[in-house]
Amino acid sequence: MKKICLIFVIITINTSNLTAQNNVLTAFLLKWENSKNYLVELAEAMPEDLYNYKPTERQMSFQEQLIHIKGNMDWLSSTYFKGEKLEKTAAKSKEEIINQLTASFDNVAEIIKNVPLEELSTEVEFFAGPKSKLQILNLLQDHVTHHRGQLIVYLNLNTIEPPKYRGW
């Protein structure tokens, strides 16, 4: 009987965890935390004296890429999930950039934690046409991923081994 109860408890816990992971917001937040940690590792891997490195003149520097990622996270989360506009902040040093980037990731997570699941179907006006808040949520992560991929190339071009990729 004890074995049956134990098996039932294990199945219930596993099912509960799987259900939580299948909730769009919970799944996003799990991925978002991992994305933050991965991007911070990339930012830490680049020496500060190479933060102005850019592969070609028309591309953003490593530092500009990080600041751009932060600014986009702030803009999308504040504008489309809080209905507020944020003022831009300028970081100068590697440490300041990493601290601000981490704070922005954490701020997005706090905002998204408070979004009711049913609100994701709400349509918002976006420069690319009307989008659902779910699409904005997906854009938050997609934009980070897009620029993070560029940063990996920047590291490789400077013979710096990027941190090992982890998808979840």
Residue range 24-157 forms a domain whose CATH class is: mainly alpha
What digits encode the pLDDT tens for the residues 77-132? 999 998 877 777 777 899 999 999 999 999 999 999 999 999 999 999 999 999 99
Residue 148 has pLDDT above 70, yes or no: yes
Q: What angle do CA 65, 67, 69 make, to 5 degrees?
A: 70
Q: For residue 157, which of 59, 85, 76, 84 has the smallest C-alpha distance? A: 59
Percent pLDDT > 70 in the chain is 86
Q: In the structure encoding, which two tokens stand for residue 33, read together?
A: 């935390």
pTM: 0.84
Q: For residue 39, which of 92, 101, 81 has the smallest C-alpha distance? A: 101
What digits encode the pLDDT tens for the residues 6-58? 455 455 454 444 455 568 999 999 999 999 999 999 999 999 999 999 999 99
Residue 143 has pLDDT above 60, yes or no: yes
Alpha-carbon span 103 to 136, nearest angstrom = 20
Alpha-carbon span 11 to 115, nearest angstrom = 29
